[in-house]
Structure 1
């Protein structure tokens, strides 16, 4: 005795039924109808999504265009257009038996007034802090990227007004799992900005990625 499939009622002849070409054709017609409908539905979805660069409001890409967004959302849309100027990867400082570490990540001279974007991914086991100095001694400015500067704050950086930004990016241990943080900062043309890394209660340190560049984004 024939039965039917759950979703499209396709005919399933029983083991005792004779072959009937009409049943076969009915099944093919049902399958053809469903496939064609699915194809039309997908075409409609694709049309509504549109293409990158659309400026009208009749597609999803068009609605996301900065010209059709409030200022704060337009900035977020432009986030992917960051112009990377500095990138450091896979830095593993030597703690040398200490649990405290100071290191220079890099010094960045702003070419223009604007906003820079910073991405930080680390898998260290420590309490971490991130400093940006807009003033620094010549010895620090000229130190190469990824300089290990010991277990105490380098001489000349103790002055509070030298520090432009200070962020605690990790509290306690992240147990060695990569953690990513992202920030944006305003910069002034002609100023050298020195990025420093401080860690305490550290049992291991590993900077997976540090990326820095200009961006139109005004808020992280």
Structure 2
């Protein structure tokens, strides 16, 4: 049976702000869910019509399930810098005074890694295992939100991507080996001597999205060059000899 025949939406059922309303009560309907097709018209367009479909679920008030505000969340946490709490699960129910209890469902045999505030839904990583090398990189937590008044529950999902400090190794933007040919520097060219060239290293932005400073330094001791620890610019301490190869790390 066509939904429009059952619900009897009139032409004015969709108000200008695109609100939907029913023309009569749903009590007595056999089906518990319906698909409502809506045609959108854009004048002077080709084609002028497009369609969207809305899924409508019908529940009796006494059997209303709690709803996750965000049924699926995706977060990143870092094993060396974790803010507490790093995420929150929140659900709502038809009775605003109803108490919702949050519980992490253990769907594997691993030891518990995360803890949750049963009343507020705040999630944090247990401090006792932050340095555990056996931790995985990805976790999918299933959090059950239970409405204690009606004894009904819903599952919320939280995907966690754990990033370790050793993953954040800086990489040179071009190569780890640089061959630089410099023009002959005159003794009065102090400006050139201050900035001969620049070494640029970056972090992998796919696994890291926070600020982290990269510091540069010349490892082997030499008397010819100095590097800016913040920018990576390399300068000569003294005039260089022409047709001479200088190596340093």
- TM above 0.5: no
Greater strand content = 1
In the superposition, the TM-score normalised over structure 1's length comes to 0.21
**Structure ranking higher on relative contact order (CA contacts 8 Å, 6+ apart):** 1
Greater helix content = 1
In the superposition, the TM-score normalised over structure 2's length comes to 0.20
